[in-house]
Structure 1
């Protein structure tokens, strides 16, 4: 029967415990100075060595042939503890033995002296799972334990343990194991097992383990089963559903260059290959985080755990993006990561996110506004702008071409605008006034994707109890996503609940509704805004020069 790697290579002495030198040194000093405590609390994320260290410590305090404060693992006490044949070292899983009766039984057993060993050691794993009554029962024993008893409590969630218990324990916090240390340990195991492993493959496994050595060895075990005696980078990608590093750089480049089409194409390819969109979000966050680190630090060995050639590529790509834009992108991706947890359609949410991060015009954050201003400044500096010299009257006339003739004055046209607003029906005003409440209700329903798409609505119209939700032409993507029977029914339901009115809902683009053609069609919303701003700025500069 196959034995898992993490069990075969479980450390048997302190020198084999990876990444916890600060804890190992303290425990060995206590053993050497005969200053062993009666209660310890080992805290840390899964797979960082808490239980392994507890077992090594239980042998070390009972070993009859200590060498450099390490258990010999050969004397009678060490062998019996290793083979689980002794009554003096007891391991309890608090997840399944968490009642008051279980702890009362433990208290009764504590009264009896060790059968052979010097100390009776109780290792209580996942101690935070004990009930409040069980904690109260344990407290008395921790307050006045017999001299021959040592308690080692292990937990991944120390904040759930009562303060009365915490105050009676020596606390040791186990750190996440670094990618470098995990890779080194896996390389050692591969050599022992006669397995040829690509360095990039081991690094990818280490990064995906998130600091848990046990998780890394479990993934390594899967890779060996998948491929045999040779583990390649592509095999690990295939097994984990991760993103190839080259694809990640390509996607990041398209985002930095604000190339929406290419971003969506890469995302589509990723989904066609059967990859998990959630993994893509996590990998993108890591990638842009690494780019940010490259912008602010030169000493990257400990901060970015990647091969040297990858770090060089990161440094080159980091030069093409400013820190403000990096922060903007990371904020949007973090929001998407949270949204993925409750989204019923992660793909659509990711597509909306791609559009938002590749085009700052869709983002209303401060960082996005700064980015848009920078784009405008670059256009002005390059001189790559075209401004048509037209009169103010003509501009206004074109803007309202269906309401006014070209020879009308600006003042008269402004009156028309006010009149148009006043002529809006009460139902339209009600929808406009209540739209934020409608979006809030969708947020409460955890329908984040529909809510995100409907935030970009341009206007509304009502005709014969049909509510037209209107987008500008450059939002055809949103229309196609919303225009399904199930989505329409949901939107109608929310509007009915919020407004106490029943409407049939239709999603439309401005070009599809001839009677609402009151504004010029725009090929690109962001570019038109920039052109208008540039036009106004240049006109102001010209007026200022003429006055001089």
Structure 2
């Protein structure tokens, strides 16, 4: 019968324990100096070696042939402990033995001296599962145990243990095992098992184990069965349902380039392969985090646990994106990571995420605003905006008198192939918004909104512009209740908040003048918010006689 790797290669001495040198060194020093405590608390995430270390410690304190404070694993006591064939070392699973009666039974057995060993060792696993009554029953024994008793409590959730228990124990915190340590351990095991393996495959297994060596060995075991004693990177990708590194770089580049179409296409292909979208979001977070680290640090060995050639690729890709963009992308992905756990339709949530990342206009954060301003600056630099100036001719007023305006100028701004991103968003989504209103059984309102002639957005106000003959539509839509309802539907449909104003074409002129009069003040306000008061100094220079 096949024995799982994590069982077959369970550490047999302190030297075998991976990544916990700070703990094994302390325990060995206590044995050497005969300074052994009566109660220990081993804390840490799953698969980091808590129970294995407890069993090694139980053998080490009882082994008569101990060398360098390590158990010999050959003597009768060591063999009996290894085979669970001794009454002096007791392992208790608190998840299934958590009642007061179970602890009372333990208290009774503590009274009896060890039969073979020097110490009676009680290992209580998942101790946080004990009931409050059981903790109270354990407290007295833990405070004043006989000299021959050692308690080792192991838990993944130390915050659930009463302070009265914690204060009576020496606490040891087990760290997550690093990717490099896990990779080295698995490479050694593969060598002993005569298994051919790609190092980047082991690296991928390690990164997906989240610091738990036992999880890594379980995945390795599965990969060995899948690959018939040969483990390749593509097989690990297939088994784990992750994205391979080339696809991850490709998708990240589409996002950086703000290529919405290709981003959604990559996501669609990922779904077609039957992969878990949650894994994709996690992988993207790791990838963009690594890009951010490459931007701000040169010493990457300890921060990014990836092969050297992959780190080179990361450095190259990080040159094409700024830190502000990376922060914005990571914020959106992290929010999605939280929401996707409870989502009934992860694919739709992921698609919305791709659109928000690739198009800053869908995002209202300060980082997104900075990106939108950068895009606008690039558009202006490209020459897509042209300003025409014309002289207003002399006009005749109602009394027949000539009014001379030859010194008055009116600037007419003509946008060529440039339209407000917010207006683009509204135009592209208007049919969807009306459909949502129609589905809400508000058919007359949906029909009225179908007659909107034009849109404009300024200061987060969405202007619905009707032709002059549609005064009845304006009157109907301007009711406060109706406006609030439309704003709500827009917010829920496109994830953007606007204040709605309904106007006629004849009123547009007044709106334009208001926008022109306010645009300098508003621009100053936005810039000050972005760069901070006192950093930006705006000086208005008024030159006389029209000289430039």
Cα contact 1:356–1:362 (8 A) shared by 2: yes
Query: Superposition pairs for residues 156-305 of structure 1, below 5 Å?
Result: 156-305=156-305
Cα contact 2:466–2:505 (8 A) shared by 1: no
Counterpart for residue 349 of structure 2:
349
Counterpart for residue 54 of structure 1:
54
Distance 1:542 1:167, change over 3 A: closer
Query: Superposition pairs for residues 375-454 of structure 1, below 5 Å?
Result: 375-380=375-380, 382-387=381-386, 389=388, 423-425=474-476, 429-433=480-484, 453-454=493-494
Cα contact 2:453–2:467 (8 A) shared by 1: no
Task: Provide the C-alpha distance between the structure 2 equivalents of 1:86 and 1:518, rounded to a whole number of angstroms.
Answer: 95
The DSSP-based 3-state class of the residue aligned with 2:62 is coil
Task: Provide the C-alpha distance between the structure 2 equivalents of 1:341 and 1:201, rounded to a whole number of angstroms.
Answer: 27
Cα contact 1:428–1:461 (8 A) shared by 2: no
Task: Provide the C-alpha distance between the structure 2 equivalents of 1:169 and 1:519, rounded to a whole number of angstroms.
Answer: 77
Task: Provide the C-alpha distance between the structure 1 equivalents of 2:47 and 2:242, rounded to a whole number of angstroms.
Answer: 21
Per-residue CA distance 1:239-290 (angstroms, 9 max, x = gap): 0000010110011101111010010010011111111100000000000000
The DSSP-based 3-state class of the residue aligned with 1:215 is helix
Aligned-residue offset at 1:518: 11
The DSSP-based 3-state class of the residue aligned with 1:387 is strand
Distance 1:226 1:542, change over 3 A: farther
Cα contact 2:111–2:146 (8 A) shared by 1: yes
Aligned-residue offset at 1:428: 5.2
Per-residue CA distance 1:50-71 (angstroms, 9 max, x = gap): 0000000000000000101000
Task: Provide the C-alpha distance between the structure 2 equivalents of 1:542 and 1:242, rounded to a whole number of angstroms.
Answer: 59
Cα contact 1:402–1:518 (8 A) shared by 2: no
Counterpart for residue 94 of structure 1:
94
Task: Provide the C-alpha distance between the structure 2 equivalents of 1:191 and 1:415, rounded to a whole number of angstroms.
Answer: 76
Cα contact 2:95–2:127 (8 A) shared by 1: yes
Cα contact 2:355–2:362 (8 A) shared by 1: yes
Counterpart for residue 327 of structure 2:
327
Aligned-residue offset at 1:373: 1.5
Distance 1:12 1:144, change over 3 A: same
Whichever of the two has the greater Rg, that structure is 2
Task: Provide the C-alpha distance between the structure 2 equivalents of 1:84 and 1:92, rounded to a whole number of angstroms.
Answer: 12
Cα contact 1:43–1:157 (8 A) shared by 2: yes
Cα contact 1:118–1:148 (8 A) shared by 2: yes
Per-residue CA distance 1:65-91 (angstroms, 9 max, x = gap): 010100000111101000000000000
Counterpart for residue 139 of structure 2:
139
Aligned-residue offset at 1:395: 7.1
Aligned-residue offset at 1:97: 0.6
Task: Provide the C-alpha distance between the structure 1 equivalents of 2:297 and 2:52, rounded to a whole number of angstroms.
Answer: 36
Unaligned runs of 5+ in 2: 391-409, 424-450, 455-464, 509-514, 524-539
Aligned-residue offset at 1:460: 8.5
Task: Provide the C-alpha distance between the structure 2 equivalents of 1:349 and 1:171, rounded to a whole number of angstroms.
Answer: 42
1:455 aligns to 2:495 (yes or no):
yes
The DSSP-based 3-state class of the residue aligned with 2:267 is helix
- Pairs aligned (count): 457
Counterpart for residue 82 of structure 1:
82
Unaligned runs of 5+ in 1: 404-413, 440-449, 463-514, 521-528
Aligned-residue offset at 1:429: 2.5
Cα contact 1:259–1:358 (8 A) shared by 2: yes
Distance 1:542 1:421, change over 3 A: farther
Query: Superposition pairs for residues 37-48 of structure 1, below 5 Å?
Result: 37-48=37-48
Task: Provide the C-alpha distance between the structure 2 equivalents of 1:347 and 1:517, rounded to a whole number of angstroms.
Answer: 42
Task: Provide the C-alpha distance between the structure 2 equivalents of 1:230 and 1:167, rounded to a whole number of angstroms.
Answer: 50
Q: Structure 1-normalised TM-score?
A: 0.77
Aligned-residue offset at 1:547: 5.8
Cα contact 2:139–2:164 (8 A) shared by 1: yes
Per-residue CA distance 1:368-413 (angstroms, 9 max, x = gap): 0111122223334x444232527769779x999969xxxxxxxxxx
Counterpart for residue 447 of structure 1:
none
Aligned-residue offset at 1:430: 1.0
The DSSP-based 3-state class of the residue aligned with 1:171 is strand
